[in-house]
A and B are shown apart, each in its own frame.
Chain A
Amino acid sequence: DADVTQTPRNRITKTGKRIMLECSQTKGHDRMYWYRQDPGLGLRLIYYSFDVKDINKGEISDGYSVSRQAQAKFSLSLESAIPNQTALYFCATSDSSRAFQNEQFFGPGTRLTVL
C-alpha cells in the first residue's frame, strides 16, 4: 500500500464549484504539505502544516484553504474554483524528528481541471 495517498486522482469541475482534495499518510510523519505543479513553473508550495494545530501559508495560498483533521490527514479546498487553478496537485510529508534531513515524500497527485 502507498504511504501517501491522494483522493480523487482526477477531477473535472466547473468554475465556481467548491472542491476538496484529500491526503492521507501512513508514514507517521508530523509535517504535511500541499503543492501545485504547472508546466514550465515547477512545483510551488500552497500550504503546509508542521502539526495538527499548525497551519501556514506557502507561496501561492490565495484561493485555497486547508484543514489538518488529524496527524495523518491534510485536505486542500478550493472554495470557488477558477480555470487558472487547473493543475496537478501534490501532497507531501516529512518527519521533523529527522529535521536535519527533512526528506519529503510525495503522493501520486491529483489532476484537477476547472472548466
Chain B
Amino acid sequence: KQEVTQIPAALSVPEGENLVLNCSFTDSAIYNLQWFRQDPGKGLTSLLLIQSSQREQTSGRLNASLDKSSGRSTLYIAASQPGDSATYLCAVLGGGNTDKLIFGTGTRLQVFP
C-alpha cells in the first residue's frame, strides 16, 4: 500500500526566508508526483507536477525535486512572502498496486511579515 508522509506538519517562518517542504512515499513505482496549495476552506491549486522520468520542475519561486529511488520529493520556496501562507499537499500517482492519487496530510505554512 502506498503511503505518503509530509514533514513538518507545520512551519512558521519570517518573510524572505528560503524554505524546504518534504514529502516521502513508500513505493517508488509512481507515475508522477503533484504538489498542491490549499488556502483555508478552499480548493486545491496545482502548483507543480513531476513525471517519474523527471528530476525537478520549476515555476517562479517554486522548485520541486523528485528522487524516486529514495522515495522523496522536496518543494523549495525561495524568498517566502506572507501570501505563501497556506497548506501544501503532495500527492503521488501510482505505487502500492494502485493507479490512484494518494495524498499526504500536508504542511501548514505561515509566513509572517
Residues in A lying within 8 Å of B, measured CB to CB: 4, 33, 40-45, 48, 58-59, 88, 90, 92, 100-109, 111
Q: How far is the CA of A76 from the CA of B29 in the complex (A)?
A: 31
List, in ascending order, chain B residues with CB within 8 A of A111's CB: 41
Q: How far is the CA of A86 from the CA of B19 in the complex (A)?
A: 34
B95 close to A (CB within 8 Å): no
Q: List 6 A-B contacts (CB under 8 A).
A: A40-B105, A45-B100, A58-B100, A88-B41, A100-B51, A102-B93
Residues in B lying within 8 Å of A, measured CB to CB: 4, 31-32, 34, 36, 41-46, 49, 51, 89, 91, 93, 100-101, 103-106
List, in ascending order, chain A residues with CB within 8 A of B42's CB: 108-109
The distance from the CB of B77 to the nearest CB of chain A, in whole angstroms, is 20
The distance from the CB of B36 to the nearest CB of chain A, in whole angstroms, is 8
The distance from the CB of A104 to the nearest CB of chain B, in whole angstroms, is 6
List, in ascending order, chain A residues with CB within 8 A of B104's CB: 42
Complex: chain A residue closest to B93, CB-CB: A102
Complex: chain A residue closest to B9, CB-CB: A40
A104-B34 contact given A43-B89, A90-B43, CB 8 Å threshold: yes
A45, A58, A101, A106: the one contacting B43 at CB < 8 Å is A106
A44, A59, A101: the one contacting B49 at CB < 8 Å is A101
Q: Lowest 6 A-B CB distances belong to which pairs?
A: A106-B44, A108-B43, A42-B103, A43-B103, A42-B105, A106-B43
Inter-subunit contact B31/A102 (CB<8 Å): yes
Inter-subunit contact B44/A90 (CB<8 Å): yes
Q: How far is the CA of A101 from the CA of B94 in the complex (A)?
A: 11
List, in ascending order, chain B residues with CB within 8 A of A107's CB: 43
The distance from the CB of B94 to the nearest CB of chain A, in whole angstroms, is 9
**Among B44, B46, B51, which residue has the most Cβ atoms of chain A within 10 A?**
B44
List, in ascending order, chain B residues with CB within 8 A of A40's CB: 105
